[in-house]
Amino acid sequence: MHIPDGFLAPQVYIPAYLVDIGLLFYAFKRFKKDLKEKTIPYLASLSAFSFIIMSIAIPLPGGTSVHGLGVASLSLLFGPWTAFLSISLVLFLQATIFGEGGITSFPINSLSIAFLGSLCAYYTYLIAKRYLEDRTSLFLSGFLSTLISAFAVALVLGIHPYLFKDPFGKPLYFPFKLSLVLPAVLFSHILVGIGEGILTIIILRALRGRI
Amino acid sequence: MRDKLLMLLYLFCLLYLSFSSHIYTLLIALVLLLVFLILSPIERKLKLLKHAFFSFFLFSFFISFSYLLFNQKALDYFLMINLRSFDLSLLTFIFLRMVNLYKAFDFSKTLGFLLVMTVSNAITYNRLLKDFKDAIRSRTLQKPERKTLVAFTKRLSLFFFEKSINTSREVQEAMRSRGFYND
């Protein structure tokens, strides 16, 4: 989510940076252990690949289209930790080099979209494919990963008015409470989730045999 | 060294402004940032200002204005949050123009290479994606059908996936031949 700087309290984004850096460091160690000298070029190419997936518009029934995130596709193709790493790298570059999204919101986006989204996509697919057909499991994986990311971002935003207010009760950062933010963010992400589900089916069906 | 020092200064200012909730402090910071921008050797200043403004405006204005509609006494909140958001965006954009980010991160050889390679790949892929989009636009007179768009998305993902794998293989060999890995 494009949350500009200024809406998140340092008491939230500093710990989030610490957790995120720790998780990224762990993911990188795992990745490096598996790939050794292939690590840097492989990760750079995968991140560029996920950057492109984020730029592809997914056609939805009814003639509209949305931009996917590619989190579920990457997670199912390369594993959740690799997806977390490459999507975080893209989010970081978007916030710094391309100037999209705030520096202070980067760890929240990285943890909610890249980390939670990747894990949710991977395990949703693992569980769903036991009971449902492949296509439905892929769709669910993309759909739920988007909703869980949206839920996490809404949760972080929604706790601000409870925690950070001046002596007169006025908010200092994000102003709306959970009761308003959660439904607003979740409902607006249903369409994005459907797009992500469709994108996951398309990409996985095209690429699965090639890894 | 200059880039690393500037990055430390940027982080200090970022933290200071993030903690600040006084309208006057934020207003003074905005004036200082604008004066710095005018006096600095940065090129295309107006473009930077526009970019910084539009990067925060949509979200910030929408949220703060909605809040103002619900709480008519919240004008000071409206001013404070928009000022802080604009200050931080402008600070970041000025920092990004003044600093070579690759040099600022070159304390880690791996991170430096990773950033350079990812950005160069992303720029190349973005250009290719634009070519693909132009190609489908020039070959379809009306808005393409959903079936065509699905096939197009499939082909795109396949193309970029294979390109990523091939590029990473080529880059790895190039890095090895240039002695990047200590074997």
pLDDT digits (tens, 9 = 90+) for B33-66: 999 999 988 888 888 888 888 887 888 888 888 8
**Cβ within 8 Å, pair A170-B87:** no
- Specify the pLDDT at position A1: 65
Domain ranges of chain A: 10-208
- B15 vs A contacts (CB less than 8 Å): 10
A65: β partners: A59
- Dist. CA A176–CA A183, nearest whole Å: 12
Q: Using DSSP, state whether A3 is helix, strand or coil.
A: coil
Q: Express each pLDDT in B91-105 by its tens digit.
A: 999 998 888 877 777
Q: CA A9 from chain center: how many Å?
A: 21
**Nearest Cα to Cα of residue A111 among A135, A73, A85, A72:** A85
> Residue A198: pLDDT above 70?
yes
Pair A12, A107: CB distance under 8 Å = no
> Residue A210: pLDDT above 80?
no
Angle between helices A80-96 and B109-139 (to 10 degrees): 80
Q: Residue B79 belongs to what H/E stretch?
A: helix B75-98
**Cβ within 8 Å, pair B149-A202:** no
Structure tokens at B50: 């526009």
CATH architecture, domain A10-208: Orthogonal Bundle (1.10)
**Cβ within 8 Å, pair B56-A6:** yes
Q: CA A207 from chain center: how many Å?
A: 21
- Dist. CA B119–CA A73, nearest whole Å: 21
User: Whats the size of chain A, residue-wise?
Assistant: 211
- Specify the pLDDT at position A192: 87
Q: Which residue of B has its CA nearest to A3?
A: B59
Q: Is the ipTM of this complex over 0.90?
A: no
- Mean pLDDT of all residues belonging to chain B: 85
User: Whats the size of chain B, residue-wise?
Assistant: 183
**Cβ within 8 Å, pair A4-B89:** yes
Residue B6 or A35, more confident = B6
